[in-house]
């Protein structure tokens, strides 16, 4: 028995018994620790505090009436025993409590969850009991920040897909998990609740219900359609994203006067949907010009609108992001337009020379803005885009990719959507140069990052997996497995 386990056993005898055990188990199963006030409310239900298979001694009779909070005298005994091992945050009574060191977490798991040679099912049942207790508590917590931090997490732990989906459909929860760049946590929860297809189906139903709800303004309805369309795009449901964007456009144009800021958002999202579709192709071809054209056309419209808006930091940032995406699509246009004489309509829309000139202009302006805003995260993406526009396989291109990757890892870390994009682009660089061992290493990192960021069923993850299954890379993989790389 480890020393900490022995200490816990002594504390259990001297400082609150089952209340101390319950406190430790609740903290172990929480996502981000618990507020002292939350613990006091959960511990107040002493008659239903412990699972039946956990031995505990309780002095006196059961509570004759249900208390709202645990008496402070009882809590003082528990806290006195544990305070050395807990780290409080904030003011007394409202600070969040969690284990000071993960070694205590390990000791709690060993003593209270993995005990008596319990088999896997019994251990899982015990964890589920405590996670269910926390889920049932946080379902009714009014403070939305805390509900979002704990409730969906607990539902994921117990595999309650039905309640998890209902939770994610709550617009208050949606607002806390939605991120315009990438709603990573929201999408991760939907993967646990049934996947992207289920997410699309449920949001379509929820939006229809919102349309029929009395008192919901056109402003709110249009915004919700726009936001959900963006989440669908992030989740790889591009057709669903287009379907949900259409009502947002109709409402904005017919009912709200086609306001410049909102129309800029519409054009930007339309361009993004087509851009994301294009990223799923393994190779560029003239057939992709059909999807590139609306991506570029809508990007241009968004830039034109944003240039007319007040140039505050928020608008400058969004303008720079749109320029960056437009520059990326300009490079794709050049790559797809192999022979201008063969595609006169496409050339009339945008020649290769003009695409090159415009692309470099837009990315240089975007980089300048991100530097002014001291936004290293998006600067990393802009540097990557600058590399894409450089001559393929050149030393300049490699140096730009390396600069972007270093900045990306510094600001975002390993598991991020931009990291995945950099790995594929560096892999393509080495592939262009015939350095297949190096390209394989980067394509492998690309797949591993996609698996964490997007999940196994996302189109980008499937594309990465497909690349590694190409005959050439299967041969390189066998070399890797033999330790020859």
Output the DSSP codes for 468-484: HTSHHHHHHHHHHHTT-
Beta-strand relationship, 96-99 and 34-35:
antiparallel
Is residue 109 packed enough to be buried (19+ CB in 10 Å), middle (13-18) or exposed (0-12)?
Answer: middle
- Please choose, from the candidates 178, 126, 170, 140, the residue with its C-alpha nearest in 3D space to the C-alpha of residue 21: 126
Q: Describe the strand order of the beta sheet including 96-99 as a list of residue ranges.
A: 34-35, 96-99, 86-88
**Alpha-carbon distances, residue 223 vs 55, 243, 245, 288, 393 (angstroms):** 53, 14, 10, 30, 43
Q: Mention every residue, 6+ apart, whose C-beta is less than 8 A from residue 69.
A: 37, 40, 41, 44
Q: What's the alpha-carbon Rg for the chain, to the nearest Å?
A: 27
The DSSP code for 113 is: I
Query: For residues 29 and 124, is the Cβ–Cβ distance under 8 A?
Result: no
First-to-last alpha carbon distance for the chain, in angstroms, is 44
Per-residue pLDDT of the chain (485 residues; tens, 9 = 90+): 465 666 666 666 555 578 888 999 999 999 999 999 999 999 999 888 888 876 655 544 555 456 789 999 999 988 888 887 787 654 444 578 888 777 778 888 888 787 666 678 888 999 999 999 999 999 999 999 999 999 999 999 999 999 999 999 999 999 999 999 999 999 999 999 999 999 999 999 999 999 999 999 999 999 999 999 999 999 999 999 999 999 999 999 999 999 999 999 999 999 999 999 998 888 888 999 999 999 999 999 999 999 999 999 999 999 999 999 999 999 999 999 988 999 999 999 999 999 999 999 999 999 999 999 999 999 999 999 999 999 999 999 999 999 999 999 999 999 999 999 999 999 999 999 999 999 999 999 999 999 999 999 999 999 999 999 999 999 999 998 888 77
Query: For residues 389 and 344, is the Cβ–Cβ distance under 8 A?
Result: no
pTM: 0.86
How far is Cα 208 from Cα 148, in angstroms, rounded to an integer?
A: 24
> To which residue do tokens 């039905």 refer?
162
Query: For residues 103 and 4, is the Cβ–Cβ distance under 8 A?
Result: yes
* pLDDT tens figures, 294-353: 999 999 999 999 999 999 999 999 999 999 999 999 999 999 998 899 999 999 999 999
* pLDDT tens figures, 160-207: 999 999 999 999 999 999 999 999 999 999 999 999 999 999 999 999
- Tell me, what's the pLDDT at 112? 78
Query: For residues 123 and 114, is the Cβ–Cβ distance under 8 A?
Result: yes
Query: For residues 166 and 199, is the Cβ–Cβ distance under 8 A?
Result: no
* pLDDT tens figures, 376-404: 999 999 999 999 999 999 999 999 999 99
């Amino acid at each position: 028995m480890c020393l900490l386990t022995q200490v816990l056993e002594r504390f259990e005898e001297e400082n609150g018994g089952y209340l101390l055990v319950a406190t430790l188990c609740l903290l172990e199963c929480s996502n981000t620790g618990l507020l002292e006030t939350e613990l006091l409310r959960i511990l107040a239900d002493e008659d239903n505090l412990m699972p039946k298979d956990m031995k505990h001694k309780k002095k006196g009779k059961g509570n004759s009436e249900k208390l709202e909070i645990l008496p402070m005298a009882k809590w003082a005994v528990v806290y006195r025993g544990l305070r050395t091992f807990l780290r409080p945050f904030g003011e007394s009574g409202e600070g969040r409590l969690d284990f000071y060191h993960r070694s205590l977490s390990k000791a709690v798991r060993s003593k209270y969850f993995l005990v008596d040679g319990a088999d896997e099912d019994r251990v899982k049942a015990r964890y589920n009991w405590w996670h269910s207790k926390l889920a049932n508590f946080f379902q009714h917590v009014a403070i939305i920040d805390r509900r979002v931090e704990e409730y969906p997490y607990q539902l994921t732990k117990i595999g309650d897909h039905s309640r998890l989906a209902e939770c994610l459909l709550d617009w208050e929860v949606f607002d806390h998990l939605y991120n315009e760049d990438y709603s990573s946590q929201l999408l991760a929860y939907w993967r646990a609740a049934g996947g992207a297809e289920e997410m699309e189906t449920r949001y379509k139903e929820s939006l229809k219900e919102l349309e029929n709800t009395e008192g919901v303004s056109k402003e709110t309805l249009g915004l919700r359609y726009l936001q959900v369309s963006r989440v669908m795009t992030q989740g790889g449901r591009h057709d669903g994203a287009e379907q949900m964007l259409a009502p947002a456009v109709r409402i904005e144009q017919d009912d709200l006067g086609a306001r410049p800021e909102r129309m800029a958002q519409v054009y930007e999202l339309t361009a993004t949907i087509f851009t994301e579709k294009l990223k799923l192709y393994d190779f560029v071809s003239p057939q992709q010009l059909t999807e590139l054209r609306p991506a570029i056309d809508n990007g241009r419209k968004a830039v034109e609108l944003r240039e007319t808006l007040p140039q505050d930091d928020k608008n400058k940032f969004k303008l720079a992001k749109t320029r960056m995406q437009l520059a990326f699509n300009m490079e794709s246009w050049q790559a797809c337009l192999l022979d201008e004489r063969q595609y006169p309509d496409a050339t009339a829309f945008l020649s290769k020379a003009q695409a090159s000139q415009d692309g470099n202009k837009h990315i240089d302006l975007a980089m300048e803005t991100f530097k002014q805003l001291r936004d290293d995260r998006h600067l990393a993406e802009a540097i990557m885009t600058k590399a894409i526009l450089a001559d393929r396989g050149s030393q300049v291109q490699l140096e730009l990719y390396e600069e972007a990757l270093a900045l990306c890892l510094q600001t975002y870390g390993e598991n991020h959507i931009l990291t995945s994009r950099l790995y594929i682009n560096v892999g393509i660089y080495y592939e262009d140069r015939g350095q297949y061992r190096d390209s394989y290493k980067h394509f492998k990192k690309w797949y591993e990052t996609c698996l964490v960021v997007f999940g196994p069923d996302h189109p980008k993850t499937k594309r990465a997996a497909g690349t590694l299954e190409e005959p050439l890379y299967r041969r390189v993989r066998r070399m890797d497995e033999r330790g020859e790389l």
